[in-house]
Structure 1
Amino acid sequence: MYTREQASQLRQAFWTAFGQYIAPHPSADGYKINWANYKTGLKHVYFRMQAEKKVASIGIEITHPDPEIQELFFEQFLELKSLLHEYVGEEWEWDLHTTNSEGKTISRIYKELPGVSVFNQNDWPALISFFKPRIIALDDFWSGAKYSFDELRD
């Protein structure tokens, strides 16, 4: 078992390693990008990569505090579902109005990798191999898809 500080240091070490590994890859628009802290440019829409004790996930989180507006964002992503799946090369899970770890209502579109741990450095290559192609595919998808959300901008 790790102390809270040790767990934090291991997580930080993983994300630093991931960042260094993917840093040479430019965004779909040709810019240098912070892949681990991806900015969609759209308030309340995030691309999240999470690595925990037993599972890793990557996905799109919609966090708008108004559930009806959150649903509008989700429906817009549903319009783009086949395009998203074409870019990522696989089917993802779609959850409208689920609860995150802080108890807030969010909507998620995501893919999980079970049986891996950020606390086991032997799993890091599998985690990087899981995250890298998917975040790059999300960026490629978002390069064109973001314009579909112009009417929903605050």
Structure 2
Amino acid sequence: MYSKDQATQLKQAFWTVFGQYMGPVLSAEGLRTNWINYKTGVKHIFFRMQADNKRANISIDITHPDKELQQLFFEQFATYKTMLHSTLGEEWDWQLHTTDEHGKTVSRIYTGILPVSIFQKEDWPKLISFFKPRIIALDEFWNDVKVAFEV
């Protein structure tokens, strides 16, 4: 088991390595992108990559505090479901009004892998191979549909 400081350092080290690996990759618009903290440009819509000692997930999180507006965003994504899955090359799971790790109600479109551990350096290539094509595909998808979500 790792101390809290060791766990934090290993996580930071992984995300630094991932950021360096993704650094040369340009966005769908041909721009430099902070892939780790991807900015959708739309309030309450986030692309998140998470990893812990058991699994890794990548998701579209809709965090609007108004559940009805959150559901409208979710339904809007659903109209692009075929396009999203086609761009990703796989189907993702869809959850309307679930609870995040902070106890807040969110809606989430996601996929994940297990068993992998961010704390095992030998798993890092697996994690990078999991995250890289999916965040690039999300960017490509978002480049095509973002205008429909801008208020």
Name the CA distance, whole Å, in 2 between partners of 1:47 and 1:28: 15
The residue that corresponds to 1:77 in the other structure is 77
Aligned length: 151
SS in 2 for 1:48: strand
Contiguous gaps of at least 5 residues in structure 2: none
The residue that corresponds to 1:111 in the other structure is 111
Q: CA RMSD in A?
A: 0.5
Name the CA distance, whole Å, in 2 between partners of 1:93 and 1:117: 21
Name the CA distance, whole Å, in 1 between partners of 2:14 and 2:114: 17
Q: Which amino acid aligns with 2:10?
A: L
Identity %: 61
Deviation at residue 148 of structure 1 after TM alignment: 1.3
Name the CA distance, whole Å, in 2 between partners of 1:126 and 1:21: 13
Name the CA distance, whole Å, in 2 between partners of 1:82 and 1:21: 30
Q: Give CA deviations for 1:26-74 in whole Å, capped at 9, x if unaligned.
A: 0000100000000000000000000111000001000000000000000
Alignment of 1:47-86 (within 5 A): 47-86=47-86
Task: Point out 4+ residue stretches in structure 1 off by more than 2 angstroms.
Answer: none
Q: Which amino acid aligns with 1:113?
A: I
SS in 2 for 1:26: coil
SS in 1 for 2:113: strand
Name the CA distance, whole Å, in 1 between partners of 2:108 and 2:44: 12
SS in 2 for 1:37: coil
Name the CA distance, whole Å, in 2 between partners of 1:79 and 1:137: 18
Q: Give CA deviations for 1:70-122 in whole Å, capped at 9, x if unaligned.
A: 00000000000000000000000000000001000000000111100000000
Name the CA distance, whole Å, in 2 between partners of 1:5 and 1:95: 33
TM-score scaled to structure 1, two decimals? 0.97
Alignment of 1:1-154 (within 5 A): 1-150=1-150, 153=151
Contiguous gaps of at least 5 residues in structure 1: none
